[in-house]
Structure 1
């Protein structure tokens, strides 16, 4: 869960760059002191997408890459609703109200020598910063990434620079036809740890494929406040029928086998 030691800022950051990198997929880079508080890949930020009170709620965006030297970080998101479409209209030089960093990220120190990074759709972005962090520790990373089609694929070359990378598309227009599990079926399970982020059905399939492996999953629950106050993102755990966690503050990353989705 979010601890008192974890400092959360609300800052009016400056947009350095924004561009569309795939079909309705945008890469957004911002600059500001909030970057200094980021402590682990897999954390997220809460963005106010408009200067008015409509839309009222902030939008949670995962962090794809962190540049501490220049106090910048990059987010990748899909523009598919009113809030994210408004965000997609912003340009370099605009101000952006950002709350964060939020949540608990991936435990990089749990991997020993080789890790599988398994992502689906908009769950792919946080795995990029994770791959960089693992590579810095000398951990070999293998990336298995799933998308709807060729037009929605992004960061393929960036991941290839960090390790073996496999792409799956639902319609077979790029890489392996089907889901990430179709790629996993062909790969030897010669890794010690896996990290995964994406739709709940994908996370369930990955856990089922590797019941004996150490794994960590990042969940994409809908959330309102982002700090654990509103209880909009609660999930039941495997401990008991009355034990719950809040994905925004206790997660979004949990060890495999903890959350009942």
Structure 2
């Protein structure tokens, strides 16, 4: 059951170009959240809620961190919210990354993120590191001004930064680095569709999971606004309810 909640903004800051970090207080949400889930946030003046991935959780403090990019009137209005204001949310929503199924043989995990698809991988990577896994992160951004959370990832992962224009870190695409990273047992990826297509194609021989970024309607699986073809069938999977995380071979990108 998805609950409707109020979350108080504890802090709000611009952490990179057009990228906002918010720390939200609600103990029930923080206790229930798992890596890969999202919050479905109501924005006044806009009919559709905004699905925003959970970037981190502090269960002791009762806080949940989200990151989002300002890319339209809805996120622009959301970015204008300040400390002590409250957000109307549904969640935590969706099915997250299956960290509990990572076997003892999965010693090394590769995280591959692009842009605003990177935040959910932060909470995932920290969780896996706490389970004793070796974590490698390959993170792609547009340019140096868009880079965020590099030091946070470095706290638990061997981290590689890639920028489209070469202004910081490695130049090119995240897939350009995949042949150079340490051998790994499983991968998790989140980012724009072209990136996911390239990653899953290049790593087709590997066990992997992907998280899909998608504009949603109801966010609870009733409206069929966010569907993706299911591999091997003529059916579809609902991203908001069945996902946003899927096994790489489970859906057709």
Q: Work out whether the TM-score is over 0.5.
A: yes
TM-score by length of 2: 0.96
Q: RMSD value over aligned CA atoms?
A: 1.1
1:84-233 residue pairs with structure 2 within 5 A?
Answer: 84-111=75-102, 112-188=106-182, 190-233=183-226
Q: Equivalent residue for 1:4?
A: none
1:120-178, CA deviations, whole angstroms, 9 ceiling, x for partnerless residues? 00000000000111011100000000000000000001001112100110000001111
Q: Could you tell me how far 1:39 is from its partner in structure 2? A: 4.2
Structure-2 separation of matches of 1:168 and 1:36: 31
Which of 29, 37, 55 is 1:35 aligned to?
29
1:183-231, CA deviations, whole angstroms, 9 ceiling, x for partnerless residues? 113224x111000000111111111111121100001122111110110
Deviates more, 1:105-114 or 1:151-160: 105-114
CA contact (8 A) 1:176 1:182 kept: no
Structure-2 separation of matches of 1:136 and 1:33: 21
Q: Secondary structure at the match of 1:249?
A: coil
Structure-2 separation of matches of 1:230 and 1:37: 28
Structure-2 separation of matches of 1:86 and 1:234: 27
| Distance verdict in 2 for CA 1:205–1:130, change over 3 Å | same
Q: Could you tell me how far 1:36 is from its partner in structure 2? A: 4.2
Q: Could you tell me how far 1:56 is from its partner in structure 2? A: 1.2
TM-score by length of 1: 0.93
Q: Equivalent residue for 2:248?
A: 256
Structure-2 separation of matches of 1:40 and 1:246: 19
Structure-1 separation of matches of 2:33 and 2:107: 22
CA contact (8 A) 2:42 2:89 kept: yes
Please, which runs of 5 or more residues in structure 2 have no aligned partner? none
CA contact (8 A) 1:110 1:193 kept: no
1:21-60 residue pairs with structure 2 within 5 A?
Answer: 21-50=15-44, 54-60=45-51
CA contact (8 A) 1:34 1:100 kept: no
Q: Secondary structure at the match of 1:27?
A: strand
Q: Secondary structure at the match of 2:71?
A: coil
Structure-1 separation of matches of 2:28 and 2:2: 8
